Homo-oligomer: A and B are copies of this chain.
Amino acid sequence: MTSQARFAEIAALVGDPARASMLHALLDGRALTASELASVSGITPQTASGHLARLTEAGLMTVIKQGRHRYHRLASSNVAQMMESIMCVAAESQAPTRLPRTGPRDVALRTARTCYDHLAGALAVALADAMIDKGLVELSDDAGVVTERGAAFIAMLGLGDPSEGSKRVFCRPCLDWSERRPHLAGRMGSALRHHSFERGWIRRIGDSRAVTVTPKGQQAFREHFGIRTEDLAAG
């Protein structure tokens, strides 16, 4: 098989609505069962089973057997990054004629959500902006770098692991499809997400990728980053 055919194969797999729905459900890195995935996609378990077999065969997912359950998850962060880049194009190329048409469920997602191993949405963009303002990181559309002051800030918050690799190459900009502005990904974004859950700053909404900022989080984000998370939903 030529590499071009394989390219089309991957894209075609991702391009089916039911499969896309499953992949989205797994986009925060959790592992779900076939029944759960069937449910979110609105199809029967046997149909879902077929889809999952194909996705796994193609190397987009991995499966863990556990008793009579089989847990499915994305095979790698590369798959998540690929999906993010497709969402980017989807948001960018939104024909200006047809309005965004955001359902109520999308509102929470646009405000704050997880994106595989980091945070996204208005909250993440606000955090990135705040860190840029304070001179902690520098971002362009292409790349990002942590400054000296940024490294100190990270250490203060107890984020990050200075032992591994270059400290400066520590963040990656990730174009946010809902905000169309870069937010923080990479090791820095990953640490920030982990930290925020750990300290109870954010909490998952139901079973989706959307998250909400707790009162404790509101205080923490104001104190450490100088942002008012209460205003995010409105903006």
Report which A residues bind B (CB closer than 8 A).
Answer: 1-17, 19-21, 24, 57-60, 75-76, 78-79, 81-83, 85-95, 98, 101-103, 106, 138-140, 142-145, 165-166, 168-172, 175, 177-178, 185-187
A168 and B78: CB pair below 8 A?
Answer: no
With beta carbons under 8 angstroms apart, the residue of B59, B91, B143 that contacts A143 is B143
Taken together as a complex, chains A and B put the C-alpha atoms of A82 and B89 apart, in Å, by: 7
With beta carbons under 8 angstroms apart, the residue of B11, B57, B140, B175 that contacts A14 is B11
The answer to whether A78 and B24 touch (CB under 8 A), given A1-B98, A17-B8, is no
Q: Shortest distance in angstroms between A183's beta carbon and chain B's nearest beta carbon?
A: 13
Determine how many copies of this chain the complex contains: 2
Taken together as a complex, chains A and B put the C-alpha atoms of A83 and B145 apart, in Å, by: 25
Q: Among A8, A60, A168, which residue has the most Cβ atoms of chain B within 10 A? A: A8
Within 8 Å CB of A169, what residues of B? Answer: 138-140, 142-145
Q: Shortest distance in angstroms between A21's beta carbon and chain B's nearest beta carbon?
A: 6
Within 8 Å CB of A144, what residues of B? Answer: 143, 169
Q: Which residue of B lies closest to A19 (CB)?
A: B8
A101 and B143: CB pair below 8 A?
Answer: no
B8 and A16: CB pair below 8 A?
Answer: yes
Taken together as a complex, chains A and B put the C-alpha atoms of A166 and B169 apart, in Å, by: 15
Within 8 Å CB of A166, what residues of B? Answer: 138, 140
